[in-house]
Structure 1
Amino acid sequence: MKYVLLICDDETASPTNEELAADPAHRAWLADLERRGGALVGARLRPVVDATTVRVREGETLVSDGPFAETKDFVGGLVMVECAHLDEAIEIAAGHPYARWGGIEIRPVWE
C-alpha cells in the first residue's frame, strides 16, 4: 500500500539543504528508507512565505499570498512510500528526525 508522509514543522529552526544533507540523523533515516526499498518520491517544500493559495468562490478565483491555514505547523515536505501495512509506515515516520520536534502525518493513497 502507498502512503504519503507529510513532514510538518513550524519553520522556526528550519535547516538549510546543506545542513540537512550533513545531519547524521537525517542521513540514517534516508539509509533506512533505502534499505527498505519503499521510497517512491520525496520533496522538500519552500517556506510558507513563498506559498500562494488559490480558492474559487461563486466562480471568482481568489489568490492570496501565503498559506490559507491559520496554524503554526505547516507541511514542509513529503515522502511517498510503499509499505506492507500501516505499522511499517508508522515505523518509517517515527524514524524521521522531524518527528522529534514537528510531526509526520501519514495518509494512505487512493489506489
Structure 2
Amino acid sequence: MILFLAGTSDARELAIEMQQVGYKVLATVVTESAAKSLQDAGISTRIGRLSAEDMTSLISAKGFQAVVDASHPFAEEASKNALNGAKAANVPYIRYERESQRFQNDKLIVVR
C-alpha cells in the first residue's frame, strides 16, 4: 500500500492512475472537498494534517511500502513531514512535481 499526499488536481489524477494499474493507495488530504473528489474516484482517504511523528506511526501501523508526496507546491510543512516520516519509517519517499507553468509576455499583465 502507498501513502499518498494529495493536494492538487494533478495529484488526484495520479492517485487514480496508480490505483488503476494495481497499487493500493490511501490518500491524505486536508479538506472534505478534496476527500470527496478522491472518494468519488474510489480512492481511500484520510482527512487532516499529519506531523512527521503521525506519518511515521501511520506508515508503520498500516505497513505502507512507500510515500508519494503530491501535495501542493506551497505545502512545505506537509512535504517536510512526509519526508521525515518516510525516513523514520525506512520507506521510500517520492516527490511528484508538476511541470512549471510558463507564460508568454504578451499574455501576462503585471500589476504593481
TM-score by length of 1: 0.30
Q: Which has the larger helix fraction?
A: 2
Q: Which has the larger strand fraction?
A: 1
